[in-house]
Each structure stands twice: as structure tokens, then as C-alpha cells.
Amino acid sequence: MRLVAIVCVQDQGPKKEDFRLLYYFDKGDGKLIKRIRKVGRRSMRTKSIIREHPVADLFEREIHDYYGVEFEGNPNLHVPLFLPEEEKNKHPLLKGEKNA
Amino acid sequence: MHDFVMPVGPQSPALKEPMLLKLKLEGEEVRSVDMRLGYTHKGVEGLLEGKNVDQAMYVASRICGICSISHERAFIRTVEDMMKKEVNERVKLIRTILFELERISSHLLWAGFMMHEIGFDTLFQYLWREREGVLDLFESICGNRVHKNICKIGSLRYDIAPVQEREVLDCLDSMQEKLKDYEDEIKKNKVIKERLKGVGKISKKTAIEYGLIGPNARASGIDNDVRRIDPYDSYADINFKTIVIKKGDAMERTLLRMREVHESMGIIRQCVEMLPSEKIPKFSLTNIKEGEAIGRVEAPRGELFYFLKVEDGLIRRAKVRTPTFAFIKILEKILKGVKIGDVPVIVASLDPCFSCMERVLVAKEDREEWMTEAEFRRKYSC
């Protein structure tokens, strides 16, 4: 199965503390398979899938840059990808008191 | 023990795209690669949040200059899926024509660059001369040569007039023979063969492991084409071949794209022939209160993926996964062990596109205005 994308969604409303990580896989038959992983706002941690899907490295680093989610097992997670050094740990898409 | 680290980019005559490759060299051989992206990052996903669907479409269309219609189309496919909206046959066919014209334009642009990278500037100019004809068609049909902005939800901004149908066919007829000659030149020219054959080889196993997509995957023997496996517009009703080659080197990637141009021409001719006389529907503002959907299309560089989440009529999350982002990781693998002189050719042969610029262009009737994203936000309060 090919990993198509990982989408991080920060839900608003009663459960706004949580993130949903949506993993889309392509089996090659035209339909995408969706797997959902919930990440608590307090822990902000989940497991990396780069062993099974090396392409997930960049996807996970992008989510880390934008939202600050930690992917355990990804050795490149803290290597800057998109954002400049001075923007590190600012997480521009994270909604919260600071970034609202 | 490595001899030294050589940075290539972000501005380098050897790379046409702004990326930084830190190459650890031992003599002339590359031992390992560190990659840094983000030099043209402009925060489009943040810019899309808080806009309604009609406003956001203009932003989506401007994400990439080369594949502007692909971004529009992927965005619209996502929204139309959310709305369960059906479009009429004429709209589907015109969208397909424009989509394939864009593929021709992109492949010729890339082929020109490829020839430039290996020092064959004559062929580079010839290929771009043919591409001019396609850009003229865009100007005639869409009003713009680069950011076309032709698609609307459920419809199109402009219809194609019979005289424009003729223009499209004439353009294809005039370039067909010439492109065959150029393809023959690529196949036979000794210098091109020396520079491209066996260079940057990607095996099918590596391609699968790194989730390669689009023409790069098809040149490594993977039959992956969203137009066939998940058809949209008129692709299900049209006869076309998905070209798959097994060798996976820079030469095969070049020839595959040239053959895809001919395939696109065949698709366009079929679409023009099938165009019904019905009118395209008038478009209106979109009314979506909430929803979550994904959409994907086969852009010239491969699968382009969109995710949209709408709440209270406004986009709350937009995710754009461009083809380059899905395959650029493979560079770390295939550059290992190659000679430094082959690096620009291998990078170019994958056709990467980091086109998201930090600025946006605001066109106002007879004048143009360039500004940064922050200035744009301030001025237009978005």
C-alpha cells in the first residue's frame, strides 16, 4: 500500500483539545483507505511510520513544523524542513490561546 | 570518512528550483545527501483557512504557475464531491482538454530544461518554441497564459467557441511532426545518450518503497495513473494508454514524457470531436455549510491530493499534498554513489517543482501589483 498523505486536523468544538491524524493509503484499485489516529493535546505524541513508509518522513516533519506533534521514532523530526530556524517551535497552524 | 560537504543551492546555476542539497563527497562521489526545502514557502494552507470556497479557489489556482489548472481541478473535485454535484458533458470535456493542454505545456517546459541541463540549448529553444503555441491557446481560451483560473464549481468561466476548437487542433497538428523529430533526436544523439542513459536509475522496488508517483513511477515500471484508476472529468469515456517503461533511468523518464505528450494530443482530439452543442451552465456562489472531503487528480508531475474541511461555510483545514512533496525524498537514496556532475541531471530528471512563491500577484485590469503575503493580507484583510 502506498502512503498518499497524512493530514493533521485540529478539531474545533467540544473536543478541540484533540488532533486527528488522517492517513490515506492507495491500494491501487482507485479507492483510498483512510486510517484515523487520535492525538491528545496534552501528550502531542504518536508513533512514526517511517520504517514501513520512508516517504512518511517528510509528511511527519511537515506536521511537526506546523502543529508541533511529536512522532516517536522519526530521527529527522527536528531537522528544519519548511520553516526557518527562528520560526522553530512556533507552529503556525496550531490553534490555541497563543495562536487564535 | 568524507572529504568535505558541498552545498548545492538554494540558488545555484545547477538547480532551477530553490532547494539546498548538502552533498557529502569523497572525491567526486556523493556519499550522502541532506536536503533542505522551504525557500519558497508561502503558507498557502494557512492562507486558505477562514475563506469561503469561492474565495479559496483563487488562492488554490495560484499555488503553481505551471500546473495551475491541476490545482483548480483538484480543489473543485474536492468541493464537488462534498456537494455531490454533477456537471454536464460539455464542461467535463472542456476541462479535460485544458487539463491535457497543461500536461503538454508542462512536459515541454521540463524537456526544454532537461536539454538545457545537459548543455543542448538548441533543442531547449526548439521545445520551448512549440510550447509557446500552447500558451497562446491558454491566452485565447482562458485569458491568461499562466494562472488560467478557468474552472468554476459545476461550470467554467468561459466556453470554447468553434473557432477556438479549430485553433486547438491546428496547434496540435503543427507541433506533432516537429515533436517526433525532437524525440528521435533525443533517442539518437550520442551526447544525450551519454549524459542520460543509466543515470539516476530507480528500480521498481525502490520506487514502490519511496511511494514514487506520476511519470517517474511509470518510467520505473509502476502502472500508476489517477486518470485511469480513479477517473474524473471525461477520462472514463476516452481511449488512452498509460505509458509504462521499466528501465527507470533519466533517459527513460525523458522519453516517457515525450510519449505522454503524444498521448495527451490524442485525448484532446477525441474530446474536441465529442464536444456536444449544449451550453455550459451559469455559475453561482457555492453554498456549503459543512463537510469534509478529499480529491485527487493526475497533475503533470503525478498525483495531486487535496483535503478540505468546511465548517460554518468557511474552510477550517486545507491540506495540499503536491506531487513533488511525495517523491522528493527519493533524492536522498538515488544520489548516493553518483558523480557530482550527474547531480543536476538526476534532480532535473525527476521534474521537481517548488513553485509556491512567497509573493502573490494581484492583477487589476491594466496594471499589476506585486506584494508579499503579509502585505496582501493587510491590504485585503484576509
State the amino acid at position B75 in one-letter form. Answer: F
What confidence tens digit (pLDDT) does each residue in B148-169 have? 889 999 899 999 999 999 999 9
Give the number of other Cβ atoms within 10 Å of residue B88's Cβ: 14
The mean per-residue pLDDT over the stretch B24-41 comes to: 86
Residue pair B277/B120 in contact by the 8 Å Cβ criterion: no
For residue B118 the three cell numbers come to 545537459
Determine the Cα angle at B242 with ends B238 and B243, to 5°.
140
Place of cell 485585503: B380
Q: Does A29 touch chain B (CB under 8 A)?
A: yes
Q: Report the share of chain A in percent with pLDDT over 90.
A: 41
The nearest CA of chain A is from the CA of B71 a distance in Å of: 16
What confidence tens digit (pLDDT) does each residue in B40-75 have? 777 888 889 899 999 999 899 888 888 899 999 999
* Residue ranges per structural domain of chain B: 4-380
What confidence tens digit (pLDDT) does each residue in B252-300 have? 999 999 999 999 999 999 999 999 998 899 888 888 888 999 999 999 9
Q: Which residues of A touch B334 (CB under 8 A)?
A: none
The pLDDT of residue B370 is 57
Going by pLDDT thresholds of 50, 70 and 90, the confidence category of residue B364 is very low
CATH 1.10.645.10 fits B4-380, yes or no: yes
pLDDT at B369 over 70: no
Higher pLDDT, A29 or B339: B339
State the amino acid at position B208 in one-letter form. Answer: I
The three-class DSSP label of residue B155 is strand
Q: Does A48 touch chain B (CB under 8 A)?
A: no
Residue pair B153/B83 in contact by the 8 Å Cβ criterion: yes
Sorted by where each starts, the structural domains of chain A and their CATH numbers stand as: 2-87 (3.30.460.80)
Q: Does A28 touch chain B (CB under 8 A)?
A: yes
- Residue B338: how many CA atoms within 13 Å on its side-chain side? 24
Of B46, B211, B319, the CB nearest to A3: B211
Which residues pair with residue A9 across a beta bridge?
A20
